[in-house]
Amino acid sequence: MTFASVLEWLIKGLVWVLVLLGGFAYLTYYERRALARIQVRIGPNRAGPFGLLQPIADAIKLIFKEEFMPARADKLLFTLAPIITLTPALVITAVVPFGPEAANFPLFGRTITWYIADLNVGVLYIMSVASIAVYGIVLAGWSSNNKYAMLGGLRSTAQMLSYELALGLSFIAVILLANSTRLIDIVEAQTGMWFAVLQPVGMIIFLIATLAEVNRAPFDMPDAEQELTAGYHSEYGGMKFALLFMAEYDKMIAICIIAASLFFGGYREPWFLQGTLLSVDQTPLLGPVYLFLKVFILLFGMIWVRATLPRIRYDRLMAFGWKILLPLSLALVFLTAGGILLEETVNPWFRWGIPVVSLAAGWVAILGMYQTLRRKEHARA
C-alpha cells in the first residue's frame, strides 16, 4: 500500500460521496416529478427551468433552519443517530464496479479502475454494512424521547429481523450462479444472461426485501406518516433531518445499484446487444451509462410502488417475511444449487430448469398468500 494508492482511494471515495449527495438531491426531484405525473399533478416547477433548482432551494432551506433539540433527548445519541444512518448508505457501494476493466484509464502513471475497492467478499460486505443502518434509526427513535419516534424505532427493529434473512438467502442464489462473492465476477458472469432471467423469483424477493431494507413504501412503517406522524424522525429538523432524509434516498440509490449489479448485469450491456457496437466489450465507456440507466429504471419502480400500494401492517410484514419469504428463498437456494449440480453433471440445459422450477415455487407462495386472504375473508362474515 503506497501513499499514492491511499490518495487514489481517498479521491475516488470523495468523488463518489459527492456523486451520491448530488444524486440524493436530484432523486428527490425525480421522485416528486414522477409522483406528480402519476397523480395528475405538476410537481415542483418554479425554481429554475423545470424546477431543476428545487433540490438546491430545499437544501438551502434545511441548512439555515434552526437546529432543534428536544429538552429531554439524549443529546449525544440524538446527534449521532443521523450520522450512523447516513454512513452505511454512503460506503455500501464501495465494492460495486461501475465499468469494465477495459474502461480503466491511466492517470499520472497509475491505472484508475472503475471501482473503489475490489473486495473478494463483496457480497458479505454489502450484507454487513446494510444491517448497520438500522441502528441509526433505532437510536434516532429512542433518543428523541418521543413516543411516536420510539414506536417507529421499535417497528424498524421488528422489520429488520423479518426481511434480512430472506435478503441474505436471495444473495446466496446469486453467489451460487456466479460462483463468486466478488461483485466484478458476478457482473461478468451475467454477460450471456442476466440473473434476473435465471432466477426471477430470487430477483423479486430481493427487490421486496430491499424495499423493506430502505424503509420505502409499502414497508415504510418506521416513518409511517399517517400512523406515527413521522416515526423515528418526528423530532428532527434542519440538517439533522436532512441527513436522515439523505440516508433514506442514498440507500435507495445504493440498493438499486446493487440490485442492478446482482440481477441486471451491472455495467454489462443487455444480453441481446452482445457482440454489437453497443456492447461494453467494444465500447467500454458505455458501462457506467448502462448502470445509470438500469438504476434510473429501478428507482422509477420504487417510486411507482410508492404511488400505488397501501402500506402493509408491521405484524403482517413480519408474518410475510417469516412465513413466505424465508421458506421461499430457502427453497430457491436448494433449487438453484440442484440446478447447477445437474447442469454440471448431466446436461447444460438443466440451467434453464432453475427459472422454471423457481417460478413454480413462487406461484405456490402466491397461492398460499391468496389462500390466507380468502380464509380471512370467509372468517369475517
Partner 1 sequence: MVALGEDESCPYEECMPDIFEVTVDDLKHLVSERAISGETMLLNMGPQHPSTHGVLRLLLELDGETVVNCIPDIGFLHTGVEKNMEAKTYQKAEVMTDRLDYLNTVGNNLAYSMAVEKLVGLDVPARAQGLRVILVELQRIASHLIWLGTAALDVAAMSTFLYCFREREDILDIFELVSGQRMMTTYIRPGGVWRDVPVEFEKAVRDFVKMMPKRVDQYEALLTRNPLFLDRTLGIGKISGEDALNLGMTGPGLRASGVNWDLRKARPYSGYEQYDFEVPTRTEGDVYARYLVRVQEMRESLRIIEQALNKLPMGPVRSNNRKYVPPPRSEIGVSMEALIHHFKLWTEGFNAPKGYIYSAVESPRGELGVYLESDGGPKPYRIHWRTPSFDNLQSLPLMAKGHLIADLVAIIGSIDIVLGDVDR
Q: Give the residues lining the site for partner 1 (CB under 8 A).
A: 38-41, 147-148, 151, 155, 217-218, 220-221, 224-229, 306-316, 369-370, 373, 376-377, 379-381
Closest approach, Cβ 121 to partner 1, in A, equals 36
Closest approach, Cβ 148 to partner 1, in A, equals 8
Surface-to-core class of residue 162, CB atoms within 10 Å of its CB (0-12 exposed, 13-18 middle, 19+ buried): buried
- In this structure, are residues 358 and 332 in contact, taking their beta carbons and an 8 Å threshold? yes
Residue placing its CB nearer to partner 1 in the complex, 66 or 377: 377
Closest approach, Cβ 95 to partner 1, in A, equals 34
Contacts of 286 (CB under 8 A, 6+ apart): 269, 278, 279, 280
Residue placing its CB nearer to partner 1 in the complex, 29 or 314: 314
Residue 174's Cβ-side half-sphere holds a number of Cα atoms within 13 Å equal to: 36
| Among candidate residues 162, 168, 209, 174, the one with its CA nearest the CA of residue 358 | 174
Alpha helices in 39-121 (DSSP H): 54-63, 75-91
Closest approach, Cβ 308 to partner 1, in A, equals 6
Residue placing its CB nearer to partner 1 in the complex, 125 or 148: 148
Closest approach, Cβ 231 to partner 1, in A, equals 11
- In this structure, are residues 291 and 98 in contact, taking their beta carbons and an 8 Å threshold? yes
Residue placing its CB nearer to partner 1 in the complex, 160 or 184: 160
Residue placing its CB nearer to partner 1 in the complex, 118 or 225: 225
Residue placing its CB nearer to partner 1 in the complex, 277 or 381: 381
Closest approach, Cβ 40 to partner 1, in A, equals 6
Strand pairing category for 105-107 and 110-112? antiparallel
Cell of 203: 430477483
